Each structure stands twice: as C-alpha cells, then as structure tokens.
Structure 1
Amino acid sequence: MSINEPFTKLEINTEDDGFYKGYSLPIALVSKSIMVALVLWALVWPAGAGKILGSVNGTLLSGFNSFYIIIVGMFLAFLLIVAIIPSTGKTVLGKPGEGTEFSNFSWFSMMFGAGLGVGLMVFATAEPLGLWGSNPVVVSGEVAPNSEEAIASAYRYTFAHYGFHAWAIYVMTGLSLAYYAYTRDMPLTIRTALTPLFGRHVNGVLGHIIDILGVIATILGVAVTIGFGVSQFIDGLYAITGIEFLMDSSGDAPTPTPSKVGLLAGLLTIMALSILSAVSGVGKGVKYLSNLNLVLSVILLSVFILFGSFAFAMSTYVSAFIDYIINLASLSFGAYSPLSEAAFTSALPEAAQPLAADLYAGATNAWGSLEGFKSGLTGEAAALDDATLAAAYEAGSQGRQFGWQSGWTTFYWAWWIAFSPFVGLFLARISRGRSVREFIIGCVIAPSMVCFAWMTILGGTAIDLELSGAAEGAIIGASNTAKLFVTLEQMIQGPLLTALSVMCVVLILTFLVTSADSGILVMNTIMSGGDQEAGVKHRIVWGIVLTLVIASLLLAGGGGLDALKNAMIIGALPFTAVMGLMMLSLAKAMWRDNLRRKEGTE
C-alpha cells in the first residue's frame, strides 16, 4: 500500500503593503499586545505584578513539576534513538549534494554563543558553588553542605542542568524545524513542526496560536538571560571602575548588588548594540560577534588553567562525568511530587502529630538543614526530644526534595524550554546541509562537553579556593553574578586582574548582544511566516519591545530578577506542550518518510 505524500501546503497569509508588509498581522499584533499589556501591568502595579507572578508560578510548579522533568527526559531519549538509527541519522537536512553554509568553527561559535554563552559567564562559578551547598544528596542529609564529600553530587546536578538535557531541549525544537524546512522546503517557523499531526489545520487559528506561543516563550526566555547577564555586566563594571551609582549597598544583602539605575543603564547599552547587530543580520553581526565570543572564552579558560586549580578541575571532570552518566536515567525521569500536610502528619511519630502544623514548614524547607529546622522551632515543638525532631525532619524528606527540584532543576528546564524557540530556530537557521546525526551529536554532545569543562575549570577553582580556606568564604558570600569576579580576585592581583576583568566585561557584553540580536532575528522570522530576511524596521521595533519587557519586569516587585524568572516559567509551560507534540510529529514524519524511501527503491 502506497504512503500518501506529506502535507507541505503551508499557507501563512502576510500583508502585501503597509508597515506590516511581509508579516502575519494576527501573530504580530497579538504578540505585541500581550507584551505591551505585561509591560503596562508591571509598570503601573509593580508590587502586585510581582506577587501575582510569584503565586501563579508556585501553583504551576506544584502541579506540573513531574511533567517538566519527565518530558525533558523523553526529549533526550528520543534524540539519542534518532541519531543511532541508521535510516534517520544519515538523513541530510537539505537537498542531495547541498553543502553547509558555515564552517565548523563558525557553526560551533554561533551555537555556543546563542545557546549558553551568558549562562556560562554567570553560572560557571555560581552553579557548582550553589550546588555544593545544596543539592538532593545534601538535602537528604547524606553529606554535609560545602564539604569535600558534597563535591561529587554538586557536579552531578551541575552537569545535569547544563549538559545533555539542556541541549536536547534546544535540538528537539531545532531538528523539528530544520527537518521540514530543508527536506520538505517548508517555512522555517514553529507551526511547520506540527504539520504531520494537524495538516491543513495549522493554516488557520491553530497555527497562529502555536507561533504566538513561540514568540512569547522566546521573549521571556531571552529576557531572563539578558536580566542575569546585565546584572553580571554591572558587577564587572563596578569591579573595574568602582562607580558607586552602579551598586545598591542598602538592604539586607551582605554584599552590594546592582542598583536599578545601574541595571537600566546597562540594559539600554546592551540592547542598543543588539539592535544594531540584528539589523546587520546573521551573516555579519551575529557571525562576527560569535567568533569573537569563542576566542575570548578560550582566553578566559586558559587563564583559569594557568592560574587556577587545573589538576583539581580535571580530576573532578573525569569523576563527575562518570557519575553523571551512571545517574543519567534517574536524572532524566526521577520526578518528585509535593508532600501534603496530611501525608506529612501521618508519617510523624505519635508524639509529634498534634504539632504537625508547627513542624511542616521547616521540615519541608528545601534550603534548611536539620539544625536549622530545630533552631527555628518555638513553643511545644521546640521542646520535643532530638529523636522525635529527627523523625519529623525525615518525614518531610519528600517535600524537601520536591521543593529543591521544582526550585532548581525545573527552573532550568523551563528556562531552556522558553529559550528553545529562539535557540532551536537559530540552530536550524545555521545547520542547513548537515546530517541529522551530525546535528544531534554536534548540538547535544559536543557543546555539553565544553560546558562541563567550563563548570569544572572555573567552578572547580572557586570550590578549591573555598575548600582550602584561601578564599575565607568570600566567593560563597558573593552574589551569583559577582562570583566570577570575586574568584578572579582570589586568584590574581595587579594589572593582570584589571585586564582580565575588562576582558570578562567585554565577553559578557558580546554574549549578551549575540543572545539578544539572535532572539530579535528569530522573533521576526516567526512573525514573517519563516522569512529569514525580515525587515529592518521590525527588528528595531522588537528590540525596543524586548527592552521594555526586561526593564519593566526588573522593576516589578521592588526590583530584581524574581519577576522575570516567574514570568518566564509561566510562559514556558504552554510551549512545553507544543514541544511534546513536536516530538510525536517528528517521529511520525521520519517513520513515514522512511517508508516512502523504501517504496521508492522497491
């Protein structure tokens, strides 16, 4: 029986003239309206907006934590299977004999810069140090925080958050888009990836909704990345110049944090440069900045190799990678559910059950130790004997594990998912002519191994400085965005420190500009129905919209990154469902294309 030809008659109506010439009016107007409404809400009612976003985020994480964890594990498993199967792995993303557009160096540079460049600058030191003090093994009480025994589990989860799973999310979207765009000559836009499931129905309202979800997720994912990066950019400028208005020394924080004025000034600088780069297009601005990013990254890595704890880092790399692979299945599918107060009460010793309401919050606090739990109790609860309190703390173990996972791993999965329309479409845009296997290995395995090196060389040096007592708690006590600069201060002094700090600020700036301008180009590609050469004026408009979204959410709730993170997690959830459908759709397309090829040879 013959297999019907695939549906390829995708029709995305675009305007023939006027300001929106070449653009889908429903996608552009609805996307902009949603973003403008978010900006006005956050500016007019900043405290209320921050509280509501936090409340909605907490509710969604309670209900969808397991969904996030398991579906990301499924993405990784699916891609590995597709790469291994000969018939799918060797499929070329393009016409027969078609070459690649970019060299391997430029391809990897753009992939690396767009995917995790900013994240690595902020979290190469902050992530291992943070997880050294708190991870599921520490939360369970098996090892003490910030101890030598906690290093292995710290890197297990560091590798999980920045390794195969993170890049599998990007590649799940990117491969779905590239497969249809380059093997079926369809538009490079989000709805294209669902045509095997929904056929002609994506030509209407359903398709508009899918593309709008992609645009919103992209804006919020890029916004969080820029938010973290701007904060680190200001930390770096302050370390070099000492300009007081950049930092806020008030409040309860033990160290100064970037001020609102400093954040907004840094944001305007970065976004102005991003818009200029986006106007120049992928082949010029993005490509050249990405190449510069990679060169400066290698220099920074070399400094840590020469002056940091390289032997410690390399031994950690090998042992941590083996541990990561051994635990890959549990990291992929080991999801936790919330622990209700009733379930907690039933697990308590009889003497403690009447005091369950006083014990519940402390026992299920993912960031609290047993000693902290005991010291925080008052009244009758504080009078319970040590054995009963230890049993009560153990009864809250599931709640602590859920709180940790939803507050850390699920946050990352939502961040990468929100980032995936942007990075995925960008990966597809630069990968024409490569095989499916090359695309998966090149975009999942290779960048993950580089990320692991960054995390162990930079983060390992910071841990070693703290473990040996040389840093005396200075790195742990610094804010996440300042940890890199504090680590450098503990390693070297004098003119070399100044030169390296300046280079790091430049590197942060170029990573931020690359991420922002790539995001602007991707948003325009989606709204123009897959046109990769969208109009310059709309790149400028979306650059301004993105700037306003980041600025308003930085100010919401009193300032800071919490509102940005909450909005991003909320916006990522609908697109997570879209990605699940993408996986099913791609599996169907590849299966049926393979049957068609067999029919053609028989």
Structure 2
Amino acid sequence: MSLQDPFTDLKIERQDSGFYEGYNLPIALVSKIAVSLLVLWALVWPLNANDTLRSWKSGLLSEFNVFYNLSVALFAFFLFVVALLPATGRMRLGGDDERPEFTNFSWFSMMFGAGLGVGLMVYATAEPLGLWQSNPLTMSGEVAPKSAEAIQGAYRYTFLHTGFHAWAIYVVTGLSLAYYAYTRDMPLTIRTALTPLLGEYSNGVAGHVIDILGVVATILGVAVTIGYGVSQLVDGAFLITSAQWLMEGVMKPSTSGLIAALALVMMMSTLSAVSGVGRGVKYLSNLNLILSLILLAVFVFFGSFSFAIRIYGQALVDYIVNFIPLSLQAHSPMSQSEYAAALPPEAVPFVAELFPGATDAWDTRDSFLAGLSGDVADLPDTTKQAAYDAGTPGRLFGWQSGWTTFYWAWWIAFSPFVGLFLARISRGRTVREFILGAVVAPSLVCFAWMTILGGSAIDLELNGDADGAILTASTTATLFVTLSEMISGHLLIIISFMCVVLTMTFLVTSADSGILVMNTIMSGGAEKTGVMHRVLWGGLLTLVIGTLLMAGGGGLEALTNSMIIGALPFSVVLLLMCVSLAKAMINDLRRARHEENETET
C-alpha cells in the first residue's frame, strides 16, 4: 500500500485590493504592530526598555544557554548525516533531470557575498584579538592570555563562531525551503518548511505564527548587524575627518553620530530595496566583492601574511580535531551554593566576597587577586588561587553566553534572510552538493578573512609594534586602528575611506535584502512586492535601530539583548524544520521505493 501523498495544498490568503493587496493581512499587521510596540517602548521609556531587556536576556540565558548551544550542534550533525547518507545525499532539489541554474563559480561567489558582510568587517580583527585575551583555555589556566600559546585557543573559538556550526544554521533554513519549493512546487516562505508536521494547519493560525516569527527574527538580526555597522562607520568617518561631534568620551561613537549614520544608511537601503534585487542589490554586491578583495590585498602586502597563513593551517586542523568537543560544550550558570561547595574549608566563610569576582568571565586571575581586601586578602595564596579556580564553571558560562550564544542568536535571527537567499540560488543541486557547498565553502572563506586580518592585528601586538593600541580600541574601531599601525599618510586615508564605503555598501545590501525578505514572507513567498511596503518597512527598521540605540545610551546593548530574546522562538522553528525535513525525506524515499516495486511487478 502506497503512502499518502504529501501535503502541498498551501493556501496563504492574500488581500485582493487596497493597501495590502498581495499581502497576508494577519502576518503584515501583527508584524508591524509588534515592531511598532517595541519602538514606542524604547522611545517613551528608554531606561525601562534597556533595563528590562537586560533582565530578560539574563534570565533567558540562565535557562536556555544549554538549549541554544546544543541546538546549533544538532543542526550541524543533522546536516552532515543527511549529506553523507547515500539515499538522502543524492536527492535533487528539483526534477530528476534538472541541473543547477548557476555555475559552481557563480554559486560560490554569491555565497561569498552572503557570508562576508558587516559582521566580518567588524569582527575580523576584533574577535581573534578579543579571544586571544580571553577564551576557555585562558580562563581554565591552561595558557596565559595574550601569549603565543593563546593564539591556538583564540582561533579555535573564532572558527567555531564563523565555521560549520554557524553556516549550518543558515543551511537548515535554506535546504528546508529549497526542498519543498523545488521538489513539491511550494512557495518560498517559512511556514512551507513545516508543512510535513503541520499539514492543513499551515494554512491557519499556526502558519501565520511561524511566518511572523520569521519576520521578527529577521528584523532583529538585521537591526543588530546595522547597529554594529553604523558604529564602525562613525569610527571610520572620525578617523578621516576628525569631526569631534562624531565621538564622545574615549573613542565612543556619539548618539548623534550614530543616528546621522543610520539615517544615511537606511535612506540608501530603502532606495535600493525599491529598485529591486536585479538592480540595487546586484550592483552593490559586485562593488562589495571588488572592495573586499582590495582590502584583503592591503593586509596581504602590508600585514603579517606569512604569520596568517601559518595560523590558517594550524587552526583549521585544530578546529576539525576538536569539532565534536566544541559542539557539545554547553555551560549552565553557577550558583553561590555550588561555588561554596567547591571552595577550600577556610574560604567558605568568605563566599559572598569571593563569588562575584571568581565567576566574572571578564576578570583576570591577577585582577581578582588584586581586588581582594580585608580578611579575604590575608588568606594563604594557595587558598586564594583555589577560590579563583573554583569559579571556573561560572566564568565559562559567562564567557559562552557573552560570545558563543550571542553569535548563535545572531546567526539564527539572520537565517530567514540568508536561508531564503541560499534556497533561491541552489535549484538543481543535489542535497549533498548544497549542504557541503553551503556549509564548507563559505566557512573556509570566513576562516581566511579572520586569519589574514585578525592575524595581522595579533602579530602587531605580539611583537610589540602596536604597543597595546589595537587591544585597547573599541570593537568597531579595531579594524581602523590595525590599519593605522600597518600603513600611514595618504594611503591610510584612502584605505580608511574605502573601508567606510565598504561598510556602507555592506550595510545597504544587508538592510535592503532584509526589507525584501520580510516583504516576501508577508506576501506568502511572492518575489515582487509593493513599493510602499518596502518604504514602510525601511522606516520601521530605522525606528527600531534608532530607538534601541538611544535606549542603550548610544551603545548596542539594547539591540543585542532584544536579538538574543527574539531569536529563541525561531530556534525552536529551526529544530522543527529538522524534524520536518527528516520526515519528508524518509517518506519520499519510501514512496519512490514503493513506485519502483510497483513498476517491477
């Protein structure tokens, strides 16, 4: 007896006329209302919004840090199993005789454009340098921070954050959407990926909720990306112009500078989104690639290229060897009672004084010991050392939630956008080609970018040439400070200006692509959407970023907190996508086997 045919009768109601013509009204209205309420909250009660988001994020990480990290591990393992199994790996995203729409070169080039964005511009130097100072190996006392030995740990976790796990998040969404779109002729929208589980319920409230979560995740992911980007934009503009109004305090972008940069970026993004993918996004993506190669060449010729190449090979081997242990690392917060149980008996009476510093992920052993006073300072050195070591689990949790989980939330929030993009360019590929090509190839590009740019920054600090200048720079200023240590004069001004332009174009392509994707989801998978709605969402996105920046006092805390919170429900959607895709593939293989048996008989 044959299996029941898969559910493909997806009917997403769209308005026939009026302002919302072509859109699903519940998705569009609920998404806009949710975003508008966030804007009003941050605008009218900025301090309350910032404090509440901080509290929610803290509580969420305490309960769900393990969930976030093990979920991402599951995504990676699931995809590699699907790719390596002969039956599922050879399945084609399209008809049996269909071949890829794009050549391998074009396909890899477009994935390069998707993977190399504002995040890599901001973190290419800042992340390896930051992890060189603090990573699980330094916190456990295995190696000394800022030493030659600490480079291995720095790149082990840099590759973790930008490698196979990270791209697996995008590919889960992309493969799920491509599989149903090209083998079952279904629309490219988020709810499609859960039709094997939801069935006819996909056409109702459940389907609407899934798509709304996709819209909210996308807007928060894009908002954080643009928030970091405009901060780097202001840093670069200050370096070139020395305009004092762009900065406040010690090299911190001013709120007025951030808002001015945001307004410029979003105006250009909205104009690009209105012009459509074929014109705006296409031309800007080509410009991005050219400027990226020029920047890479600057680091190759003036940076520490031989040092970076050596790091690349060693770090790649180390990452692969430690892939499974890295996947399964998931830390929970440490309570004061757990800490007390790990202390030497003579230190237990001082647990309240010792606990905060010993479990602070951003505090060093030396600063912890130097900060002790009174009777605690009179404890034997061995006891004080043991008190610090007892807090290692707490420090590991704080570090993981501040670094790794932040990244996973960012990638998850961005996955509807990049997943849809990957699906659109992968028709005709086999499942194995899609998974290995979209997980491995972009990861290797990200690794090269991180080692060439970040390796130069580390080498400058390691050999003493930078004398701490790069280490003390803010996250978004690190790239420009690194450049100033490598080159000078007119060349520095030219390259810095080019970096500002590159950051600008990355911001514009991220924002306009996000606007287009949000409209695609709200219109039930339609590629062509209303111009006024793109303009409206451009304005809403600007307000979200601007109000959360002001709520954070010009900082990015409110933005990142809201993203970590908003990404949690969509991480559940991604897990359901894995279950749904596994069910669909198994049943499709059973149907194909049954049809073969029927033909033979």
| TM-score of the superposed pair, with normalisation by structure 1 | 0.97
What residue in structure 2 maps to residue 202 of structure 1? 202
Contact 1:190 1:421 in 2 (8 A): yes
Superposed counterparts of 1:277-426, under 5 Å = 277-426=272-421
Contact 1:524 1:538 in 2 (8 A): yes
What residue in structure 2 maps to residue 462 of structure 1? 457
Partner SS, residue 475 of structure 1: coil
- Greater displacement, 213-222 / 292-301: 292-301
Superposed counterparts of 1:577-588, under 5 Å = 577-588=572-583
Q: Does 1:234 align with 2:229?
A: no
Gaps of 5+ in 1: none
**Counterpart-to-counterpart distance in 1, 2:241 and 2:101:** 42
What residue in structure 2 maps to residue 27 of structure 1? 27
Give 1:375 shift: 1.6
What residue in structure 2 maps to residue 441 of structure 1? 436
Q: Does 1:158 align with 2:172?
A: no
What residue in structure 1 maps to residue 530 of structure 2? 535
Deviations 1:300-330 (A, max 9, x none): 1111111110110000000011111111001
What residue in structure 2 maps to residue 563 of structure 1? 558
Partner SS, residue 22 of structure 2: coil
**Counterpart-to-counterpart distance in 1, 2:17 and 2:228:** 39
Give 1:376 shift: 1.7
Paired AA for residue 402 in structure 1: F
- Greater displacement, 279-288 / 223-232: 279-288
Paired AA for residue 138 in structure 2: V
Give 1:430 shift: 2.5
CA RMSD of aligned residues (A): 1.3
Q: Does 1:86 align with 2:86?
A: yes
**Counterpart-to-counterpart distance in 1, 2:375 and 2:20:** 68
Give 1:156 shift: 0.2
Give 1:369 shift: 1.7
**Counterpart-to-counterpart distance in 1, 2:230 and 2:99:** 38
Contact 2:115 2:446 in 1 (8 A): no
What residue in structure 2 maps to residue 182 of structure 1? 182
Deviations 1:2-61 (A, max 9, x none): 111100011111111000001011011111001000001001111111010001000000
**Counterpart-to-counterpart distance in 2, 1:308 and 1:135:** 24
Q: Does 1:273 align with 2:268?
A: yes
Contact 1:35 1:545 in 2 (8 A): yes
Paired AA for residue 417 in structure 1: I
Q: Does 1:41 align with 2:19?
A: no
Closer, same or farther: CA 506–103 of 1 in aligned 2, 3 Å: farther
Give 1:372 shift: 1.2
What residue in structure 1 maps to residue 540 of structure 2? 545
**Counterpart-to-counterpart distance in 1, 2:369 and 2:116:** 40
Contact 2:132 2:151 in 1 (8 A): yes
Give 1:378 shift: 2.5
Q: Does 1:502 align with 2:497?
A: yes
Paired AA for residue 120 in structure 1: L
What residue in structure 1 maps to residue 589 of structure 2? 594
**Counterpart-to-counterpart distance in 1, 2:438 and 2:528:** 24
Paired AA for residue 464 in structure 2: G
Contact 1:106 1:290 in 2 (8 A): no
Contact 1:520 1:542 in 2 (8 A): yes
Q: Does 1:451 align with 2:407?
A: no
**Counterpart-to-counterpart distance in 2, 1:39 and 1:100:** 43
Paired AA for residue 498 in structure 2: M
**Counterpart-to-counterpart distance in 1, 2:252 and 2:361:** 25
Closer, same or farther: CA 462–375 of 1 in aligned 2, 3 Å: same
Give 1:139 shift: 0.8
Partner SS, residue 3 of structure 1: coil
**Counterpart-to-counterpart distance in 1, 2:103 and 2:237:** 34
Contact 1:110 1:287 in 2 (8 A): no
What residue in structure 2 maps to residue 477 of structure 1? 472
Give 1:142 shift: 1.3
What residue in structure 1 maps to residue 131 of structure 2? 131
Closer, same or farther: CA 291–97 of 1 in aligned 2, 3 Å: farther
Deviations 1:531-573 (A, max 9, x none): 1111111111111111110101111132210000000000000
**Counterpart-to-counterpart distance in 1, 2:108 and 2:289:** 9
What residue in structure 2 maps to residue 16 of structure 1? 16
Closer, same or farther: CA 285–103 of 1 in aligned 2, 3 Å: farther
What residue in structure 2 maps to residue 493 of structure 1? 488
**Counterpart-to-counterpart distance in 2, 1:78 and 1:291:** 33
Give 1:288 shift: 2.1
Partner SS, residue 471 of structure 2: helix
Paired AA for residue 563 in structure 2: M
Contact 1:113 1:514 in 2 (8 A): no
**Counterpart-to-counterpart distance in 2, 1:285 and 1:438:** 29
What residue in structure 2 maps to residue 169 of structure 1? 169
Paired AA for residue 463 in structure 2: S
| TM-score of the superposed pair, with normalisation by structure 2 | 0.97
1:432 pairs, out of 418, 427, 432, with 427
Deviations 1:166-192 (A, max 9, x none): 111011111111111111111111111
Gaps of 5+ in 2: none
Give 1:96 shift: 4.1
Closer, same or farther: CA 557–120 of 1 in aligned 2, 3 Å: closer
What residue in structure 2 maps to residue 216 of structure 1? 216
Paired AA for residue 24 in structure 1: N
**Counterpart-to-counterpart distance in 1, 2:523 and 2:593:** 36
Contact 1:129 1:476 in 2 (8 A): yes
Partner SS, residue 201 of structure 1: helix
Paired AA for residue 211 in structure 1: D
Partner SS, residue 352 of structure 1: helix
